[in-house]
Amino acid sequence: MKLARSPGSSATGLLSLVLIYILLIILILFFSSQVLQDISKASSLTNFIVIPLAITLPLFIVGTLVVNIVRLVRERRSGQPGFRFKFRMIVFFTFIAFLSSIPQGILSISFINTTMGSWFSTPTRSALQGGLDVAIEYVNDKLANLASFSDSAVFASILRDVDSAPDRFWTNIHEANPSISSVQVFRDDGSEVLFRGDQTARIRTGFRLSGEEGMLPKESNGDVSVLRFLKSYRGANGHYSVVLSSLLPPGFDQKAQALTASREIFTQLDRFGSLFRIVIVIFFSIFSVPMLLLSILVSLLLSEEIMRPIVDLEEATRRVTEGDFSYRILGRSGDELALLVTSFNKMVSELERSRLTIMQTEKVTAWQEIAQRLAHEIRNPLTPIKLSAQRILRKSQEGREELDRVLAPAISSIISEVENLDKLLKEFRDFSKLPAPELAEVPLRPLVAEVAETHGAAYRDVRFHVEEIPEGLVVRADPGQLKQVFINLLKNAFESIEGPGDVYVRADLVRKGSLQYCRIQVQDTGRGIGAEYHNQVFNPYFTTKGNGTGLGLPIVERIVFDHKGQIWFETEVGVGTTFFVDLPTEQ
């Protein structure tokens, strides 16, 4: 059976293009982020690791496109069906791609100009600088507040309560200046006397004081920053170091740093604004051209995908018109043309079956007429010939020695030829009056083994193998006729082997369309069948044996045909022959 080409290659091509498309998107994202990052950092634009890939990928797409165009030109020169339709589809898809890319390019350039004008506008620059100034001013106000409060007369009067009333000391500080987050008092040796306020601002054990009044270094505790001011005080119980602390809002430092970094990036982008526009245009060109080429490649593959079933149908129709009824089209399930392909294959199968039925019927009818005529014309004189020969033989045995010496061999030969002729006529008669099969459940393996044991005993050098017939495999057939099939096939297999050899009988279940068959194989390692005899093997009265009648295989074909099955063979001279028999499991 010949099959049309499989449609899997187009699907593979489309999948490859999808992967390339995804790779292009990844490159676009990487390229764009790299451009912005390097411009903002004033880095060189020539150190992209993606540039070689960005150049190689379009070259690969161009090469693939050139290969497909060359193939399209060859199809045109060879006159392959569907070329004009395929060419029109390619032009159409390319035109659509151009139409979509032009407004996209105009819109992209306009969007870039508008966006950059919005980004690098004076209000944005002023807002960034103003935010940074506000943050600095806020910190400076906090520092100034700590310094002024520490030097104030109010704080000097509050300090008198350090020794006598520590809680009142903190309450007075907090009421006088609510922005103070905590107060901490140390002796000269660094030991802590008291602490009141937010624990976040507390100086941990082991902190060394410089002894000089003034602002202490800013300290960060998690996402909170602490501003401190050191004030010296001599009380009734000795000399103290008083630390006033003020907390900045959570995340203040991180936000201030982010604001500073944004201002620097903005300044950098503003400085390279014209270069940035050029890079964006180049970037758009680098990746829009491969997208356009990809659309052309997609049009090529889609046109191939659409035209392939139509071309296959045209090819199959031509083959069937030329008489090749074995041609089939492979279609994908779910495809839009799958129903048409299935209907065509079914139609061709029905045509092939009808043609085979007609040929078989004509062949059987013709040979039935020949067999009946031969039986009528030849059988009538057989009985008188046999009786006369027997009468002569008896006379010769009554004493006429010379007559006995001459006539006895001749008469024996006549009787033998008559018996051979009678055997031939009997086979013709059986062929012409082969009864309809009486179906029954027949265990296959025991039947084959019985036939081989009976008819293969004379071929001791031939090894017989039946192991590949599954135990318990049952076929629905006429037992007598099925046995006759194996008698003929096995005798032919045994007789084809000269010297040691092997005969294998295999069976398994196969599905053809919606029907299930038992496929039986009879394989020998004999001399094979010459190519000049392939078309005559199943013809009645054709034989290559010296003593054959030429009716064995025609009878086998007739029995298989009556069982609604099929028989065929494969052979190679010097290697052997395999006969295949397909019998339906349900009839």
Overall average pLDDT of the 374-388 stretch: 60
Q: Is residue 226 within 8 Å of residue 246, measured between CB atoms?
A: yes
Per-residue pLDDT for 218 more than 90?
Answer: no
The token pair that represents 473 in the structure block: 């495999």
**What is the total residue count of the chain?**
587
Which pLDDT value is given to residue 6? 44
pLDDT band at 269 (very low <50, low <70, confident <90, very high): low
HEC profile of 305-328: HHHHHHHHHHHHHHHHHCCCCCEE
For the segment(s) 440-584, the CATH number from 3.40.50.300, 3.30.70.260, 3.30.565.10, 3.20.20.70 is 3.30.565.10
Please provide residue 41's backbone torsions phi and psi, each rounded to the nearest 5 degrees: -100, 5
- Stated as kind and residue range, the H or E segment containing 330 is none
Q: Which two three-digit tokens encode residue 177? A: 């200046």
Mean pLDDT of 451-467: 86
> Which amino acid appears at position 156 of this protein?
A
For the record, the structure tokens of 285 come out as 């060109």
H-only helix segments in 433-501 = 444-455, 479-496
H helical segments located in 322-400: 338-396
Q: What is the DSSP string of 559-578?
A: HHHHTT-EEEEEEETTTEEE
Backbone Cα Rg of the chain = 52
What rounded mean pLDDT belongs to the chain?
76
For residue 400, the model assigns a pLDDT of 60
Name 584's bridge partners: 517
Instruction: Say which residues have a Cβ less than 8 Å from residue 571's Cβ, sequence separation at least 6.
Output: 528, 529, 534, 577, 578
Greatest CA span in the chain, whole angstroms? 178
Task: Return the structure tokens found at 574.
Answer: 């010097």
Q: Report how far residue 6's alpha carbon sits from residue 352's, in angstroms, rounded to the nearest whole number.
A: 23
| CATH number of 141-259, picked from 3.30.450, 1.10.10, 3.30.70, 3.40.50 | 3.30.450
Residue 518 β-bridge partners: 509, 583
Chain Cα centroid distance, residue 47:
38
Per DSSP, the three-state class of 414 is helix
Categorize the per-residue pLDDT at 519 as very low, low, confident or very high, splitting at 50, 70 and 90: very high
| Residue 36 pLDDT class (50, 70, 90 cuts) | low
Predicted TM-score (pTM) of the model is: 0.38
- The rounded distance, in Å, linking the Cα atoms of 498 and 488 is 18
Q: pLDDT (tens digit, 9 = 90+) per residue, 399-444?
A: 566 565 556 666 766 776 677 677 666 666 666 666 778 899 999 9
Mean pLDDT score, 473-500: 91
Answer with the residue of higher pLDDT: 281 or 482: 482
What is the DSSP annotation of 229-250?
EEEEEEETTEEEEEEEEEEPPT
**DSSP H or E segment with residue 218:** strand 214-221
CA distance 402 to 404: 5
Better-scored residue on pLDDT, 519 or 370: 519
Question: Rounded CA gap, 576 and 9, in Å?
Answer: 37
Cα(94)–Cα(65) distance, integer angstroms: 13
Q: What is the pLDDT averaged over residues 568-579?
A: 93
DSSP 32-88: HHHHHHHHHTT--TT--TTHHHHHHHHHHHHHHHHHHHHHHHHHHHHT-TTHHHHHH
Contact 240, 233 (CB under 8 A): yes
Least confident of 7-21, 70-84, 225-239, 536-550: 7-21
Least confident of 81-90, 270-279, 308-317, 372-381: 372-381
How much is the pLDDT for 5? 46
**Which residue is it, tokens 């006088």?**
176
